[in-house]
Amino acid sequence: MQIHALEFYAGIGGLHLALKRNRKFSARVVRAFDWDQNAIKVYEANHGEIVTKIDISTLSASFLASFQANLWLLSPACQPYTVLNPNAKGSLDPRAKSFLHLMQNVLPELVARKEQPKHLLIENVGGFEASTTRQFILSQLHSLGYTTAEFLLTPLQFGIPNSRLRYYLLAKAAPFVFPTSIQSGITYRCIPPPSDSDSDSSSAWIDPRDSETANVNAMEISHYLDSEEQDDSATYAIPDRVLEKWGRLFDIVLPTAKRSCCFTRGYTQLVERAGSILQTNMDLDTSKTFDFFFAAQAAGDTEVKVNAVSILHPLQLRYFTPSELLRIFHFNPPSTYTNAPLRIDPLVLDSNPRVDDTHRKPNFEPFIWPPNSGISTKTKYRLIGNSVNVHVVTQLIDFLFHGDVCGSELELF
């Protein structure tokens, strides 16, 4: 049995890549849908010309049935639900229309035709779990004969130094069901081990933000940075005008850090809650250096005020590069990443703290930007910020299909 998938809101193909990276069963995306032309260019450069540029709210049940897909992968717009938007409108937002169309109109018709997908995976921003859309989707899926499992997960749980909390909804249609330990209406903070596993299911992950005693078992950020040969720090240095006005709002991390803030589509364009920046000089104390800077800004001497920002230059502050974010999002896992990591435990490291993308596991083909496409650095940040963490989704796909493929028991990584 081969899994045939449809990918909605495909973006640059993070869900496709996660499905491709599973090592337990054969699967392929037979058609993807998106509206963003730049995203489609990137998708096609990596996955072939299987993307249809279309308004998803116009898709019909008969058209989708023609693909005979048994899996739907969906990452609908998060803007209607994000906590970063105080004016978020949820289901009333026009950007939620197409997702509601699929769930309210298309899926029921496919069920009536007995041509519905047997499995679904939906990804959205943390905050979706409190929306009325989530309540409607759950009610709709249950009425159509699906069982569901919900999760709030962050890459930190999988040894990746990035705090990107995301909501995931998994669904199965009869005869497939989730383990009896999964209860409807509960949003889980970790993926439970399979019933035949020796893992301790009681050892749920503890968010270090919620407990002073919780450890962050993640790789250092240094493993995700460009190599010295690739170093282009000057290009990504924080502009003085930004440091002068907004420097105090940045989340600044060192290469030795084991966490970073969520990188959003507005990275480099916004300051607060858009993603961390990197301090490459680890010999200086960040707080003390900024204290000197603030004191200089408050000085009565005009010349001292004008030159105050120069105090911050030795910190060597810069943005993460697009290639570094592709590693953090696990589109291009670093060479220190093992091909068979433990599900929650820290990833196995080798002795090389730098990244060399040429030494990659055989089934990890490098993710590329299409050559001569005219895609700007700003657009790359937007496309990555709109995407998913590939490794996290791969783990969820394994859980979704555990025990369902060819009657065999699948094991989580």
Q: Which residues contact 222 (CB under 8 A, 6 or more apart)?
A: 255, 256, 353, 354
User: Rounded to whole angstroms, what are the CA distances from 241 to 122, 233, 309?
Assistant: 40, 17, 9
Task: Return the closest-CA partner of residue 29 out of 6, 53, 55, 2.
Answer: 6
Say what the pLDDT of residue 346 is: 33
List pLDDT tens digits, range 25-64. Answer: 899 999 999 999 999 999 999 999 999 999 999 999 999 9
191 neighbors 398 (Cβ within 8 angstroms): no
What is the Cα–Cα distance from 86 to 128, expressed in whole angstroms? Answer: 14
Say what the pLDDT of residue 184 is: 87
Task: Return the closest-CA partner of residue 27 out of 73, 74, 64, 66.
Answer: 73
Q: List phi, psi (to 5°) of 315.
A: -65, -25
190 neighbors 345 (Cβ within 8 angstroms): no
Residue with tokens 């933000």: 209
User: Rounded to whole angstroms, what are the CA distances from 26 to 89, 160, 250, 398?
Assistant: 39, 26, 44, 12
Strand ranges inside 126-241, DSSP E = 146-153, 166-173, 187-188
What single letter denotes the amino acid at residue 314? Answer: P
- Judging by beta carbons within 10 Å of its beta carbon (0-12, 13-18, 19+), is residue 267 exposed, middle or buried? buried
Cα 353 vs. chain centroid, distance in angstroms? 23
Say what the pLDDT of residue 394 is: 96
Bridging pattern class, strands 277-279 and 252-253: parallel
Say what the pLDDT of residue 228 is: 77
What single letter denotes the amino acid at residue 17? Answer: L
Say what the pLDDT of residue 82 is: 60
Query: Which of the residues are catalytic?
Result: 78
Domains and CATH numbers, the chain: 3-209+389-400 (3.40.50.150), 221-385 (3.90.120.10)
Say what the pLDDT of residue 404 is: 79
Say what the pLDDT of residue 342 is: 36
What single letter denotes the amino acid at residue 121? Answer: L
**Torsion sign across C-alpha atoms 352, 357, 361, 367:** positive
What is the Cα–Cα distance from 247 to 232, expressed in whole angstroms? Answer: 21
What is the Cα–Cα distance from 379 to 247, expressed in whole angstroms? Answer: 23
Classify residue 6 by its DSSP letter.
E
Residue with tokens 């490794």: 391
Residue with tokens 């993807």: 32
Bridging pattern class, strands 146-153 and 119-125: unpaired
List pLDDT tens digits, range 309-358. Answer: 999 999 999 999 999 999 999 999 987 764 434 343 333 333 333 444 43
Task: Return the closest-CA partner of residue 371 out of 44, 125, 128.
Answer: 44
Say what the pLDDT of residue 307 is: 87
What is the Cα–Cα distance from 336 to 355, expressed in whole angstroms? Answer: 7
Say what the pLDDT of residue 81 is: 55
Bridging pattern class, strands 3-8 and 27-34: parallel
Say what the pLDDT of residue 372 is: 87
User: Rounded to whole angstroms, what are the CA distances from 128 to 50, 163, 167, 186?
Assistant: 29, 17, 7, 14
Low-confidence stretches of the chain (pLDDT beneath 70):
1, 79-95, 194-216, 230-231, 337-363, 405-413
Tokens describing residue 125: 């921003």
Q: Which residues contact 114 (CB under 8 A, 6 or more apart)?
A: none
